[in-house]
């Protein structure tokens, strides 16, 4: 899957870029559990003609104005391994083909990571991004798949993911949707993303109540 990408890092990450690369390479672990109600700015924010990632109404709001545009934000430059993540995604006005979710094991080459995607149409994918290559959907023979367990056009979704121990698992509203075996990236950074559809005009979602814990 080919996409246009924009990376938005926290200010502290930009200021300490060299240290960030060093931390990711060394395998040092960020403190867990890590939770955020988005009442205080911590994640990367920025606005331009293609997208806007800003704090609004005690949430992290992502608005995308460009079709097939993938934008993500990270809270820090920490390296995490074997984690479970959850976040509430508020569907403020997203096209049914818009995808949103969480990312894990982002490498020092910024476009290398895993992501767990859900759409308001009830579709999902667990994917691997590799720098300079098309993304690979690790689920369902590299295509989007509809799950009856994912509500269509819901006002909000609780998106969860297990990332570690050689397994990637996606959850929506507490129910397991899919799981795959994959261990190319052992640890790395984490993030939240929105990916506008190929025919979307404007995509608008917000993230709230993020929680990350260590897997057993």
Structure tokens at 191: 């993030």
Q: Can you give the pTM of this predicted structure?
A: 0.88
SS3 22: helix
pLDDT tens per residue, range 145-174? 999 999 999 999 999 999 999 999 999 999
pLDDT tens per residue, range 181-200? 999 999 999 999 999 988 87
Q: Does domain 4-214 have CATH number 1.10.510.10?
A: no
Which residue is associated with the tokens 């959907």? 137
Q: What is the pLDDT at residue 125?
A: 98
The mean pLDDT value for 56-67 works out to 96
Phi, psi angle pair for 178, to nearest 5°: -165, 160
Q: How many other CB atoms sit within 10 Å of the CB of residue 112?
A: 18
Q: What is the pLDDT at residue 5?
A: 56
Distances (CA, A) of 5 to 51, 99, 111, 129, 141: 11, 13, 9, 11, 23
Structure tokens at 62: 């992502």
């Amino acid at each position: 899957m080919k996409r246009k990408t924009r990376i938005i890092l926290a200010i502290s990450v930009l200021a300490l870029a060299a240290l960030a690369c060093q931390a990711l390479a060394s395998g040092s672990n960020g403190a867990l559990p890590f939770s955020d109600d988005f009442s205080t700015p911590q994640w990367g924010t920025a606005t331009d003609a293609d997208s806007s990632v800003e704090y609004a109404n005690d949430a992290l709001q992502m608005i995308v104005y460009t079709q097939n545009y993938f934008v993500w934000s990270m809270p820090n430059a920490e390296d995490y391994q074997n984690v479970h993540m959850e976040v509430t995604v508020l569907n403020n006005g997203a096209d049914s083909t818009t995808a949103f979710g969480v990312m894990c094991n982002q490498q020092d080459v910024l476009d290398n990571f895993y992501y767990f995607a859900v759409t308001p149409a009830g579709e999902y994918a667990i994917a691997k991004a590799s720098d300079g290559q098309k993304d690979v959907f690790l689920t369902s023979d590299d295509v989007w798949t509809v799950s009856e367990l994912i509500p269509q056009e819901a006002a909000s979704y609780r998106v969860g993911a297990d990332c570690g121990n050689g397994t990637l698992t996606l959850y929506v509203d507490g129910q397991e949707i899919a799981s795959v075996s994959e261990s190319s990236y052992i640890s790395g950074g984490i993030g939240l993303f929105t990916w506008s559809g190929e025919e979307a005009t404007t995509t608008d979602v917000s993230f709230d109540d993020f929680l990350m814990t260590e897997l057993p």
